[in-house]
């Protein structure tokens, strides 16, 4: 499976923690919400040293929308590179636009979009650069080799991280507008034996 396959449908949020004063408290919710990947480029936490690499991205930039600075529905799990590339610009919504098959990554790592808004977002973030295509091609090759020759390695490359956050233990100070989502969290799914080995 191509590890750069975007979700088949627009993302519908399953968590809704409210009222944290510090941004970092939203992180475990966002990691689970977005499957431990950057929402823009799909860089997986499993592929990199995680510390410092993932940012909490404000979809609507704080500069222009300060009232949404601590609003969960405005927060995204993004790699540092995409977070910097986006900067303080208002960009098209990745949760609506970066879906498959409208956006496709080929075996050679190049990315194509049917939808002009998705193409615009890809261009703004530089996801269509030669370096990015090379990066994707490397990981597609590594994942394909591992799938053929080393299923344990493939499981680690394409599986969930070991440190899945236990959202049942968290209490957001302002409550949770989508408490039913916790039952769908990866930690709970792993406890129930329903979490897929790879994704
Ligand atoms: Zn990224």
Segment 134-165, tens digit of pLDDT: 999 999 999 999 999 999 999 999 999 999 99
The percent of residues in the chain predicted with pLDDT above 70, rounded, is 100
Give residue 179 CA to ligand 1 midpoint distance, Å.
28
d(CA 121, CA 27): 24
Q: Which residues of 96-120 are buried (b: 16+ CB within 10 A; e: fewer)?
A: ebbbeebbebeeebebebebeebbe
Q: So what's the pLDDT on residue 196?
A: 97
**Mean pLDDT, range 162-187, rounded to an integer:** 98
d(CA 100, CA 162): 27
Q: How confident is the model at residue 30 (pLDDT cuts 50, 70, 90)?
A: very high
d(CA 182, CA 162): 18
Whether residue 120 is predicted with pLDDT greater than 90 in this model: the reply is: yes
Q: Residue 55: enclosing H or E segment and its boundaries?
A: strand 54-58
Give residue 85 CA to ligand 1 midpoint distance, Å.
9
Closest CA relative to residue 142, chosen from 128, 156, 162, 130: 156
Give residue 51 CA to ligand 1 midpoint distance, Å.
15
List, for residues 71-101, the tens digit of each pLDDT value: 999 999 999 999 999 999 989 999 999 999 9
Give residue 169 CA to ligand 1 midpoint distance, Å.
28
Give residue 81 CA to ligand 1 midpoint distance, Å.
6
Give residue 112 CA to ligand 1 midpoint distance, Å.
16
Give residue 53 CA to ligand 1 midpoint distance, Å.
10
- 112 beta partners: 104
Give residue 76 CA to ligand 1 midpoint distance, Å.
11
Q: So what's the pLDDT on residue 48?
A: 83
Whether residue 41 is predicted with pLDDT greater than 90 in this model: the reply is: yes
Give residue 40 CA to ligand 1 midpoint distance, Å.
5
Give residue 109 CA to ligand 1 midpoint distance, Å.
15
Give residue 192 CA to ligand 1 midpoint distance, Å.
30
Q: What is the pTM of this model?
A: 0.96
Give residue 111 CA to ligand 1 midpoint distance, Å.
14
- Residue extents of the structural domains in the chain: 23-191
Q: Which residues of 161-170 are buried (b: 16+ CB within 10 A; e: fewer)?
A: eeebbebeee
Whether residue 67 is predicted with pLDDT greater than 90 in this model: the reply is: yes
Spell out the residues 6+ positions from residue 87 whose beta carbon is closer than 8 angstroms to its own: 61
């Amino acid at each position: 499976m191509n590890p750069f396959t975007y979700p088949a449908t627009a993302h519908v949020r399953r968590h809704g923690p409210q009222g944290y004063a510090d941004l970092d408290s939203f992180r475990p919710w966002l990691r689970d919400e977005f499957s431990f990947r950057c929402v823009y480029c799909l860089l997986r936490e499993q592929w990199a040293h995680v510390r410092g690499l993932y940012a909490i991205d404000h979809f609507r930039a704080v500069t222009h929308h300060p009232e949404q600075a601590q609003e969960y529905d405005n927060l995204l799990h993004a790699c540092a590179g995409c977070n910097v590339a986006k900067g303080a610009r208002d960009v098209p919504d990745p949760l609506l636009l970066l879906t498959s098959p409208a956006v496709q990554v080929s075996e050679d790592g190049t990315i194509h979009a049917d939808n002009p808004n998705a193409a615009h977002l890809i261009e703004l973030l530089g996801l269509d650069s030669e370096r990015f295509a090379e990066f994707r091609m490397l990981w597609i090759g590594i994942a394909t080799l591992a799938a053929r020759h080393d299923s344990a390695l493939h499981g680690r490359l394409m599986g969930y991280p070991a440190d899945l956050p236990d959202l049942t233990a968290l209490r957001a100070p302002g409550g949770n507008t989508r408490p039913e989502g916790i039952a769908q969290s990866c930690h709970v799914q792993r406890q129930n034996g329903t979490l897929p080995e790879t994704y």
